[in-house]
Amino acid sequence: MSENDFQLDNQNAYDNIPHCLACQSESRHIPAMPPSGSTTPSGGPVLGGAEFVGSYPDPLVTLDPPLPEIALIGRSNVGKSSLLNALVGQPGLARVSGTPGKTTLLNAFRLPHLYLVDLPGYGFAVAGKAARVGYRKLVTGYLRERPTLAGVVWLLDVRRDPSPDDFTIQELLIESGRPVLAVLTKADKLSRTAGMDRAHALARMLGLDESQVQLVSSKTKLGVAELGESILATVGG
């Protein structure tokens, strides 16, 4: 086994992200996506009319027409497909609880003024080394270099503390300088007070401003309309 193999297998799955770059950057701050500014109660989708465009292995694939993009990223099973479906009000658009096999493809969905780009879920134990390397290339290439990327919606389960993989993604987000909104999924599993306590705690753990952390539930639609508004504000729609 080469030294590289050793490192790959013993650090987390995205360990070629050059942490030194993040360390050298002047600020470890993650910029925010604009808040929704909404005072209306949580409700259904404000985004709609989405259609699946395609699955791509190339992080720099050209989408036609060129439109700003919002990426969704999170660990496998965090509720990303469910949230995407809730956001656009189309229950069958993204597959829920599919086998986490398509680790090296990004899925693009076109809306009237933007693309939603579903990055594959991370952190599943069964993936082999080749899949992990492919994942790493796709996500690092996409977050670092994609010219049309306007913002990143980072999904974390409200009940879980961030995993080592989550912290690796955090480093990559810091390095990329992209505006980020962290959404805490499955908020229906906690009481309102417990959810707010977790939101404060997770914001602290992730070094995010409280306004960058939002509770969501695809089941009750809590926070879904606000997320849609924040996405539209980010792309200027």
Binding residues for ligand GDP, rule: CB under 6 A, are 74, 76-82, 96-97, 121, 185-186, 188-189, 217-219
Rounded to a whole number of angstroms, the minimum distance from the CB of residue 186 to ligand GDP is 4
Choose between 8 and 93: whose C-beta lies nearer to ligand GDP: 93
E strands present in the chain: 51-56, 69-74, 106-110, 115-118, 149-157, 180-185, 213-215
Choose between 185 and 212: whose C-beta lies nearer to ligand GDP: 185
**Any residues with CB less than 8 A from the CB of 54 and at least 6 apart, and which?**
107, 108
Rounded to a whole number of angstroms, the minimum distance from the CB of residue 82 to ligand GDP is 3
Rounded to a whole number of angstroms, the minimum distance from the CB of residue 154 to ligand GDP is 12
Q: Among residues 208, 235, 84, 81, which one has the least CA distance to residue 148?
A: 235
Q: Among residues 26, 30, 27, which one has the least CA distance to residue 213?
A: 30
Rounded to a whole number of angstroms, the minimum distance from the CB of residue 219 to ligand GDP is 4
Choose between 15 and 188: whose C-beta lies nearer to ligand GDP: 188
Choose between 217 and 234: whose C-beta lies nearer to ligand GDP: 217
